[in-house]
Structure formats: C-alpha cells, structure tokens
Structure 1
Amino acid sequence: MATYVLIHGASSDSWYWHRVIPLLRAAGHDVITPNLPVGDPACGIPEYTDTAIATIREHTGDAATPTDLIIVAQSLGGFTGALLATRVPTKLLVYVAAMAPKAGETPGEWWEATGYSEAKRHNDELVGIAGREDLDSEITFFHDVPADITAEALRRPVPQTDGPFKSPPMPEHPNVPVRFLLCRDDRMFPAEFQRRLAKERLGITADEMGGGHLPALAHPEELVRQLEMFRVEAGL
C-alpha cells in the first residue's frame, strides 16, 4: 500500500480529485487531498506547502508521517508538490499537466522564462481556438470533461488569488524519483511545450496520456492506471 498525496491546481480544491480518490482506495492505497488556501491573497507556495503538511499530519493523527508518499501535483500544484517533496519523506513525485519549476525562478517568472505565451498562441491556432480561449473556460479546460461533471464544476467556482505568483524563488528541485505526465490534447499547457519543459527542467522524457488539462475529471481511470504504473516501476 502507498499513500498518495494529491495536490490540486489553481482555482480548484480537493474536489478536483473526487473521481480518482475511490479508484486509488479500491486499489488498496491511502489518499490525502489537501485543500490549499487559493482564495487567500496572503498565501503563496510556502503557505500552500504548509497547508499540505498540516493536512498530512491531521490525516495521520498521532502516527508518524508516512514514508511511502507519492506526491501527485497538477497544473499550478507543481510548485507546491516540488516544495512539499523537499519537506516530507517522498518516494515519488509525479507532475500531471503541471508547471515544472526551476531552482532560482519564481512562479511569477515561469510564464516568460518558459516561452509559454508563444507556445500557447501557436497551439491555439493549430486547434482552431485562437481568440476564443479567454471567452469561455470550457473551450480551454473542459472540452473533454463529461457534461455533468463540467456543470458541477461550474456551479462551484473557487476564487484564485495571485499570491502564488508573488512567492519567493524556488529552491533546488527535490532529489527524489520524478515522472512527468502530459496530456496530448491539453489546451492550457500544450503537449509539445510540456515535452520540452520536461527535458529542459527535469532532464526526463515525459510520459503521455490522452485528454485535456483536467484528466482527473475527464479520464480518471486512465490517470490512475498511469499513476499505478509509475508506482510499480518505482518499486513501491
């Protein structure tokens, strides 16, 4: 049995993982899903990480922090996942459609440093959504999410402040095994862009699955299959 710590992205909370949690538990694993303080403008990545650690401790009660943690970090959660892996015993860090951090760079600097705007503009043109993506979040984020799940998500919006982007520079990347899972139809972080960042920033070749930016909502079974494959390959 492993303990999965699932870190959600921006404008989100632990509900994002609600289709994944029962699948992991059915496979015999423990699952911890922190709710990061995304609505508090005074909170950035250090505070998000503190919240995740507090949630882990609350989950385990008087027991020691598990030593078999698999941290799964989605989208903006990549920064929190990386910092968390420097502070708790971590067997595996998995980025999922995530913002791969770089030591000495702030989250706010990530966009320009990675060449994100040009990469997204090019992909928007390729998929025929140029000029439309900011008008309807469904075009960018929910295009492959089932209609009922999309409707529920849109009924429960989670405000996101810019606190994370004012955070201090990231430290050295944690010295733990790492995987990077991109989604080939991701309209937020295009696949070719993510392939490049995985190599440049993490020194690895990204793994890939189908679907868009929200795989836990759109394709939970495939996401769990990938996570379990990573776990087995890591010898956990």
Structure 2
Amino acid sequence: MTTFLLIPGADGTTWLWHLLVPALDRRGHSAVAVALPPEPTADLGAYADAAVAACEDRDEVVVVAQSLGAFTGPLVCDRVDARALVLLNPMIPSPGETAGDWWQATGHDEARTAHAVAHGRPPEFDVRRDFFHDVPDHITEAAFSSERHDADLETIWNQPWPLDRWPDLPTHVLQGVDDRFFPLELQRRLARERLGMHEIDTMPGGHALALSQPEELADRLVGYAAG
C-alpha cells in the first residue's frame, strides 16, 4: 500500500484534496492531505516540517505537490524516504529562485495572456474563470462560499528555493491540458529547461485536477506508485 502525501498550492489547506483522498482509499491506498502553516512568518522549512509531521513515519510514500507546492515537495522527499515525486500543474523552481520572482523569470504572464486571447477569453486573470472552469458547479460554489482564507505568503514569495539540485528519485510532471493558469506549452518548456524532461504527462482538466477529475487523477497517481 502506498501513502500519497498531498501538498497543496497557495491555498495551503487540505480542502483541495477532499475528493481525491477517498478516491485513493477506494483503490487500496492511503492519502495524507497536508495543511500548511498560515502564519506570514512561515517559510519553506516550516512548510516542509508540516508535511513531514503529517506523514507520521509512513512507508512507501509518493509526494504529490500541486502548483506552488512544487517549491515544498522536493524539500520533503529525502526526509520521508519518498519513492517518487509527482509535480501536479506545478510552479517548477530553479535553485535560488523565489516564488515571487518565478513569474517574471518564466514569462508566465505573457504565456497566460497569450493563451487566453488565443482561446477567445479576456486577458485579465479571474479566479473563477481560470481555476474553476471545469470544476462541477456545486464544488465551485462550495469553494467560494466557504470561510477559508487565503494564506499570507509574504515569506514564501521572498524566500530563495534552497536546493541546489532536484532530489534523486523518479519525478513526474502531470499537467492538465486545459489549465488556463499554467498553459501546457509553458509547462512543457519549463520542464525541459529546469528538469531536463523532454516529455511531460498530461490528462484532461484544468488547474484544479483534484476537484475536476479526482477519479482519473487517482488512477494516474496509482500508476506512478506501481512504477
């Protein structure tokens, strides 16, 4: 049985994973959704500590890092003796790069805007339109009606990514082909430039795959665990 350690993006809460966790359970595996510390002083080390603590010395761990979680996931792998790392619609960092600098360094804004215009959408970013366009309505409404608050990421945005190399273990990039926030061609380029990957894995869905495609995502993750 594999334990999937699920690290969220900028939201920092476990809610993103509330459909994926039971989907993995039904497939005979366990999943641990990490709640990241919300304090503005929390840094990447505190995020990694929270993930390691949530893992509770479990065996056969696969680390899954969503979006901004890609800055934390690699810091956790050696500490939990992970078998694999899955970067899900990720912000792929370079050594010494801050999350705040990532946007300009990667050309993200230009890529996102060009993708929106090419597909007939307004160029301005809109959370509902860009993150939830393929998420069922009732889940979207739950997301917007909840009392969850955005984490204060002041420290995270300004902290250089501390690793000088990526962990030495099987690493997969899984990208939603309909992600409007991190367009597919941007992700292919970053995986090639920063990870040396000439191919990345894709599946239907947008940025919030765990909400829009939890069953297929569970199948993909189980496939990675099987090797």
Q: TM-score, normalised by structure 1?
A: 0.90
Query: Partner of 1:102 in structure 2?
Result: 94
> Distance between the aligned counterparts of 2:216 and 2:149, measured in 1?
26
Corresponding position of 2:152 = 161
For residues 36 and 14 of structure 2, what CA distance do their matches in structure 1 show? 8
1:84 Cα deviation from its structure 2 partner: 1.0
Tell me the equivalent position of 1:9. Answer: 9
Q: How does 1:44-123 map to 2 (within 5 A)?
A: 44-57=43-56, 65-123=57-115
Aligned pairs, number? 223
CA separation in 1, counterparts of 2:94 and 2:78? 14
User: Which residues in structure 2 correspond to 1:1-236 (within 5 Å)?
Assistant: 1-37=1-37, 39-57=38-56, 65-133=57-125, 136-156=126-146, 157-162=148-153, 163-171=155-163, 172-204=165-197, 205-232=199-226, 234=227
Of 80-89 and 178-187, deviating more is: 80-89
Q: Which runs of 5+ in 1 are unaligned?
A: 58-64
The amino acid that maps onto 2:195 is L
| Contact preservation (8 Å) 1:102, 1:170 | no
- Rounded to whole Å, the distance in 1 between the matches of 2:79 and 2:149 is 27
**Residues 5-43 of structure 1: per-residue CA shift (max 9 Å, x gap):** 011111241111011111111111121111002x31101
Letter in 2 for 1:217: L
Sequence identity (%) = 40
Cα RMSD of the aligned pairs, angstroms, is: 1.4
- Report the residue type matching 1:46 in the other structure: G
CA 1:185–1:224: 2 relative to 1, 3 Å: same
SS in structure 2 of the partner of residue 6 of structure 1: strand
User: Residue 82 of structure 1 contacts residue 101 of structure 1 at CA under 8 Å; is this kept in 2?
Assistant: no
Gaps of 5+ in 2: none
Q: Residue type matched to 1:131 in 2? A: P
4+ residue segments displaced more than 6 Å: none
Give the partner amino acid of 1:118: E
Kept after mapping to 2: 8 A contact 1:66/1:89:
no
SS in 1 for 2:150: coil
What TM-score does the superposition give when structure 2 sets the normalisation length?
0.93
State the secondary structure of the residue aligned to 2:63. Answer: strand
Partners of 1:75 and 1:28 in 2: CA distance? 26
Q: 1:61 maps to which residue?
A: none
SS at match of 1:70: strand
